Amino acid sequence: MKFFDLTFSLVLIISIFQFSNAKPPKGFEKVDQEITISTLEAQMKYDVKSFSVKPSSKVKVIFKNPDSLPHNLIFCTPGKKKGGDKGQEVIDAVLKLGDQGVKMDWEPKGHPRILASSGMVQPGKEITFYFKTPKVEGDYPYICTFPGHYQLMNGVMGVTQKANPITNLSYKIYHGEWSKLPDFSELKPKKTGTLANGLFDITRSEIKNNFGFVFQGKINCINDGKYTFTLSSDDGSILLINDKVVVDNDGIHGIETAKGSIKLNKGKHNIEVRYFERGGGENLTVKWSGPGFNNKALSKSLPKRGQLVEGMLLEAPKGEAIIYRNFIDGAGPRAIGVGYHEGLNLAFDANNMRLAMIWHGDFIDGARHWIARGQGFQPPAGNDVTRFPEGLAIAELDSSDSPWPESEYRTKELAFGGYVLDKMQRPTFKYSRNKVSITDNAIPIADTSEEIPGKIKRLIRFSAKEGPTNLYFRIAEGNFEKKDDSFQNEELVVRVKGGDVFTHEDELRVPIVFNGKTAQLEITYSWAE
């Protein structure tokens, strides 16, 4: 556990700063997440039993104590039982304080498992403190160390790349054989628990058939507005907000998807998901959209049969891009994935020198290729994956309406020359087609509204001693219509500078016109609203 030492010592330094209405400490003027936790009067409990945060994020905690007794809030490291011991080693150290306990506010200062602390907060008071979460994902318990309190006053902070706005998420597992969702209130659960990461997760079931789940928690809406929930399941499921059914996907079926919308005010709302699995495959995927965001995951993704589980989500550093060279589903065995800090992503196929796909949101999960034998293709982890035609992107044609040539695996006419990185670690791909040299550079453009994913602008430069006159570029496939300066279909909007774009059958093509020894195309891709 040595890798925790530096992180924890730094966090402890930060956590000693406690404020009522004071300014935050240096470096914490802007935080990644704010969480308010209150005691419940005469109940010896916290009102928040679980919440999730991302690794290495700056957190502001407001701890309120309306109770008649003093309480504290101490965050602990997972320990040997990965958070399951509720910080028992800290409690053991508290008991050893003896007569010094009162003087030390029942806190063993400097204990290696203490991550951050509020200090003792008197009745009717509140305090604000700040800390930086560890880099390591896991369940981090928090407790009140006043003697006799911790058994009831405890919770779990889930540190995960998929942190989300659901708190107090609990589950109940039931066994039975049903053709539709039963009245679970009349049944006795086989198992109960808490999901600190705030993700609906049916992998907690120890059996594969004839089981059911009831999940309950609080979801926080940051704005007033219309929220849409998406529920995909095999077999049946329903989603309720404030006890009202919003999505109904009940019955025995394979993976089917249903949606529903509801207007919600800013603040926390009850969320409940009920699910059952009869036989065959099992699946539950929950997403939501709302003012300022689209298709955010609220569930743990399930691997396909034989796949490795998720758990190593890659994320671009602030202000930079991240490169992932491996087998990517849809981009082939010589794929080069690029995740941009702006939340935009692409995959380049180095076999056929083509842009294979673009997407936004999460980049990619590296677990499959970094754990065990690393076999198989990893799909993108984000949303609205748009795929481009397989095979050659550039070809010589007898005429503009000639059939596009089929391509063999790694054709001789194409050669990959690698890529160079700029100061933001963004790659420019270098390749050639016969005697034509090509550079291919993608630039992410974030949208200012946050409701729209953004755009990817692609600059492709061609050079040759003698430019061919019959060279064409295939941009995309699909039912495109021309609208003003763009071509659009149901999922994609394309704008092109440097050539006269036209459609042939279901292909979007553009001739590459040389001006002397050079030619250039500027292609901007964005997602249709």
Got the DSSP string for 413-433? TEEEEEEEE-TT--EEEEEEE
pLDDT at 11: 40
pLDDT at 236: 95
CA angle, 155 then 161 then 165, to 5°: 55
At 521 the three-state DSSP class reads: strand
Note whether 46 and 111 are same-domain residues: yes
The pTM (predicted TM-score) of the whole model is: 0.56
Specify the number of domains making up the chain. Answer: 3
Tens digit of pLDDT for each residue in 238-281? 999 999 999 999 999 988 889 999 999 999 999 999 999 998 87
Per the CB < 8 A criterion, the answer to whether 309 and 258 are in contact is: no
Please report whether residue 277 resides in a domain.
yes
pLDDT at 282: 86
Note whether 9 and 141 are same-domain residues: yes
Please report whether residue 276 resides in a domain.
yes
Amino acid at 266: K
Tens digit of pLDDT for each residue in 79-90? 888 888 889 999
For 202-320, list the strands marked E by DSSP: 211-221, 225-234, 237-241, 244-249, 256-264, 267-277, 283-290, 293-297, 313-314
CA distance 78 to 75: 10
Note whether 150 and 203 are same-domain residues: no
CA distance 286 to 137: 22
Please report whether residue 307 resides in a domain.
no
Note whether 268 and 335 are same-domain residues: no
The CATH number of residue 76's host domain is 2.60.40.420
Domain edge (last residue) among 239, 264, 297: 297
Note whether 399 and 382 are same-domain residues: yes
pLDDT at 453: 81
Please report whether residue 424 resides in a domain.
yes
Beta partners for residue 32, in sequence order: none
Note whether 140 and 184 are same-domain residues: no
Note whether 412 and 290 are same-domain residues: no
Note whether 195 and 98 are same-domain residues: no
Note whether 434 and 383 are same-domain residues: yes
Domain edge (last residue) among 105, 137, 159: 159
pLDDT at 407: 66
Note whether 374 and 480 are same-domain residues: yes
- Region 132-141: mean pLDDT is 90
Please report whether residue 389 resides in a domain.
yes
Note whether 228 and 331 are same-domain residues: no
Please report whether residue 448 resides in a domain.
yes
**409 confidence band (pLDDT: 50, 70, 90):** low
Note whether 191 and 224 are same-domain residues: yes
- Region 96-120: mean pLDDT is 92
Please report whether residue 302 resides in a domain.
no
- Region 335-351: mean pLDDT is 93
Domain edge (last residue) among 134, 159, 184: 159
Per the CB < 8 A criterion, the answer to whether 50 and 155 are in contact is: yes
Please report whether residue 435 resides in a domain.
yes
Per the CB < 8 A criterion, the answer to whether 394 and 431 are in contact is: no
Domain limits at 14? 2-159
At 93 the three-state DSSP class reads: helix
- Which helix (H) or strand (E) segment is 368 a member of? helix 367-370
